[in-house]
Amino acid sequence: MQDPITRTADKAGVIGAIVAAMGCAACFPALASLGAALGLGFLSQYEGMFIRYVLPFFALLALLANVLGGFRHREWGRTILSLIGPLLVLAAALLMAAFGWPTASLLYPGLLLMVAVSVWDLTSPPGKTRRRNA
């Protein structure tokens, strides 16, 4: 069974990264329009803070949770897959904040991968298949 702290941190990291990206209309217009449709348009006034602090924080939180979960369960393929998403989101946020580069091509696949691995963890928690075969 997955540790409740790492499980919660992983899910909080995914949700936090998505909400932070929704507040950045100039940086990530597709997510910002989705955020505005959900009533989160007021977040655009905090765009600089989201890119510099909030998005990297939640990406690091998800990354740390996945590293800890990977060491605990020792399913290295799954761990590597779960690390790619937060690394892409972190790279997108840092490159956008530092250089102003358009990084939607990094952010969107990273967020999609974070959500996909998170759903995978919810539907088939790590360690379950190992216990059945043992």
pLDDT tens per residue, range 50-99: 777 888 888 888 888 888 887 887 888 888 888 999 999 899 888 887 88
Q: Residue 116: pLDDT band by 50, 70, 90 thresholds? A: confident
Per-residue pLDDT, 87: 93
Q: What is the mean pLDDT of residues 95-117?
A: 84
Return d(Cα 70, Cα 79) in angstroms, integer.
5
> Do 113 and 84 form a contact (C-beta atoms < 8 A)?
yes
Return d(Cα 62, Cα 118) in angstroms, integer.
10
pTM: 0.68
Burial code (b: 16+ CB inside 10 Å, e: under 16) for 27-54 equals: bbeebbeebbeeeeeebbeebeebbeeb
Secondary structure (3-state) at 20: helix
Sequence-distant (≥ 6) Cβ neighbours of residue 95 within 8 angstroms: 101, 103, 106
